[in-house]
Amino acid sequence: MTLFFSILTLIGGLCLFMFGMSLMGDSLERAAGNKLQALLGKFTSNKMAGFLTGLAVTSVIQSSSATTVMVVGFVNSSLMTLRQAINVIMGANIGTTITAWILSLNSLPSEVGVALEFFKPKTFVPILAFVGLLLFMFSKSSRKKDIGTILLGFATLMFGMDIMSDATNNQEIRDIISSVFGFFGTDSPLGWFAPLVAVLAGTVFTAVIQSSSASVGILQALALNAPAGAITIGSCFPIIMGQNIGTCITAVLSSAGANRNGKRTAVVHLSFNIIGTTIILVAYYIVRIIFSVIGDDFFLGWNANGLSIATMHTLFNFATTLILLPASKLLEKIAYKVFPISEDEKQNKLVLDERLLNTPAVALGVCRDATVTMANDAINAFNLSLQSLVTYSKESADEIRKMEDKTDQYEDVIGTYLVKLSGHQTGDKLSDESTRLLKLIGDFERISDHSVNILESAEELKEKNIEFSEEARNEIAVLSGAVSEILFLSLEAFTKNDLSIAGQIEPLEEVIDDIKDELRTRHIYRLQEGHCSISAGFIWSDILTNLERTADHCSNIAACMIDTANDNLNIHESVREIKGNKAQFEELYEVYSKRYTLPKNV
């Protein structure tokens, strides 16, 4: 019966440990969301930059699996290349080793100096749990609540580790541990097959619990009270190798619903760990052979503890990374060999991966990046359409329509994704940003629609062989120049999140309204005097309407940005606020009026 209750205690400790690690990891992702967004926004093709980014992100969230799942999402959304992902995955493998070093504090001897006493978990974990409980129960800030949950999660996993360790004090449990690990050591009855079995055992166990950090932590807990000679360096090291392969199961499962590029990322993660393990395992066999010839196990027979397990885990990951970092192109080739480029991939449509919704700040960052791309396409299409009024070409027309189709698809995908994101815990700040993006994508999409409308006017002029008078062409050139500038200011304000630039848009929009009114008046005079045909007049009117409405959308973009900054969602109030600063508004209005002066009416 004693054995039965000891096994129950061991299982209970394992459950608490796993729950604490999951709770801490999820809370770390939420609390560090903004930092993650900043880091993930700086992915580059540079190997070292990607490596350091993966290391930093994983060090923050304490899970290489979570980082890799995010990377799969980024690659699946075409916001990161596969080559960039490879470098990040390698960095993540190093970052995940920090957890083992924290857990190794349990291996500090019972009698330590006063200076080290505070670093013993039994000293600081109750303090962390108390602080975490206060933050979780009494704080109104969602961020502080997340920090409290992190502390409670850490206290729970450390408590679970203590329970597992205490359960191994039972002699029968100790005998079982000795028997199990005896199959993996240098004296195993399996002989030279023992390391291979150990790698397989580490792989299977880690694949089941889907966390190498947790798997290494459990190994550390078992080693705390294991009998002398039961868990040795020689028996642990192959298990640690297998744990790094087993952790790939999370990325593999995550890639099941991804596109081929997302699946390639999972293949890279898996092949990286398999190749690395194979190389290090060969080296391990060579070391065993050398010491078997000498007739001494040397360090392979030493007892393993939490500190030595953390050291082995770190050394293994550093070694595999050093070996394979220069071979990132090889890993990329393997991935493309397993999943070749398909015809569907060549269409390059936007996909926002729903895996990223679990990290709202990251998901919102992805939406913003996609919106920036959409904005650039919409404004480039509009500028091309203005050029088509001067010099029409079939190539430009096709490009305008292509970009307009793309912005339509972006609006649909981003809008749907933001609505789904609203169902997750985002906090007030992220919720406001999400609302802002929902408004902005509508304005950018309408700008691209107006570009097609202007293109159709240019095509109608060409098909009907209609030409505007020189006076009309000069007038439309002035208005087009003003609209081009307001588009540029809108794009700059949005991409740089610059409110000072946003504040310059409304005076220019009013100048555009005044120019448009004057042009309509001049057009009526030309019609009355017979200087303009009815057909040309309709086209002229359509062009003016599209230019004026495009400026209105730019005004909406600026007002929306100011709304969000002032925690206000009323565009009319923002416009009144801009006009309320009369001196600045009139000064800018005067500048723009002089810049865009219409030629004298003759």
At a CB cut-off of 8 Å and minimum separation 6, what does 210 contact?
A: 65, 247, 249, 250
At 602 the pLDDT is 52
Domain with CATH 1.20.58.220 in the chain: 354-595
- At residue 232, the 3 state secondary structure works out as strand
DSSP 473-526: HHHHHHHHHHHHHHHHHHHHHHHHT-HHHHTTHHHHHHHHHHHHHHHHHHHHHH
| Mean pLDDT of the residues in the chain | 80
Largest CA-CA distance found in the chain, in angstroms, rounded: 112
Query: How far apart, in Å, are the Cα atoms of 102 and each of 311, 418, 437?
Result: 12, 37, 40
At 36 the pLDDT is 58
Rounded to a whole number of angstroms, the CA Rg of the chain reads 32
At a CB cut-off of 8 Å and minimum separation 6, what does 514 contact?
A: 593
Task: Look up residue 68 and give its two tokens.
Answer: 């890799």
Please report where in the chains the tokens 């929902």 appear, as a residue. 438
pLDDT in tens, 196-240: 888 998 888 888 877 777 788 888 877 777 677 677 888 888 888
Q: One-letter amino acid identity for 583?
A: A
User: Looking at residue 120, what DSSP letter applies?
Assistant: S
At 1 the pLDDT is 44
CB atoms within 10 A of CB 570: 12
Alpha carbons 93 and 104: distance in angstroms, whole number: 18
HEC string of 247-314?
Answer: CCHHHHHHHHHCCHHHHHHHHHHHHHHHHHHHHHHHHHHHHHHHHHHHCCCHHHHCECCHHHHHHHHH
Q: Nearest-CA neighbor of 212 among 101, 100, 297? A: 100
HEC string of 159-192?
Answer: HHHHHHHHHCCCHHHHHHHHHHHHCCCCCCCCHH
User: Looking at residue 230, what DSSP letter applies?
Assistant: T
DSSP 557-600: HHHHHHHHHTT---HHHHHHHHHHSHHHHHHHHHHHHHHTPPPP
Q: Torsion angle, CA of 363/18/225/281, rounded to 10 degrees?
A: -50
**Cα dihedral sign for 399, 400, 404, 405?**
negative
pLDDT in tens, 236-276: 888 889 888 888 887 787 777 667 777 888 888 889 999 99
The CATH code of domain 354-595 reads 1.20.58.220
At 549 the pLDDT is 94
Specify whether the CB–CB gap between 162 and 211 falls below 8 A.
no
Low-confidence residues in the chain, pLDDT < 70? 1, 3, 25, 28-46, 60-63, 65-66, 77-79, 106-122, 168-171, 173-175, 177-178, 181-183, 185-188, 226, 229, 257-258, 295-298, 342-349, 425-428, 566-581, 601-602
Show contacts of 175-179: CB within 8 Å, 24+ apart.
Answer: 175/227, 177/222, 177/226, 177/227, 177/230, 177/231, 178/226, 178/227, 178/229, 178/230
Query: How far apart, in Å, are the Cα atoms of 577 and each of 64, 81, 443?
Result: 48, 43, 21
At a CB cut-off of 8 Å and minimum separation 6, what does 34 contact?
A: 361
Specify whether the CB–CB gap between 516 and 598 falls below 8 A.
no
Alpha carbons 382 and 140: distance in angstroms, whole number: 47
Query: Distance between terminal CA atoms of the chain?
Result: 108
Alpha carbons 40 and 366: distance in angstroms, whole number: 9
Burial class, 376, CB count within 10 angstroms (exposed 0-12 / middle 13-18 / buried 19+): middle
At 442 the pLDDT is 93
Alpha carbons 523 and 530: distance in angstroms, whole number: 10
- 232 strand-pairing partners: 303
Q: Read off φ and ψ for residue 210, nearest 5 degrees.
A: 60, 40
Q: Nearest-CA neighbor of 507 among 569, 598, 582, 599? A: 582
CA 422 to chain centre: 17
At 257 the pLDDT is 67
Alpha carbons 25 and 30: distance in angstroms, whole number: 9
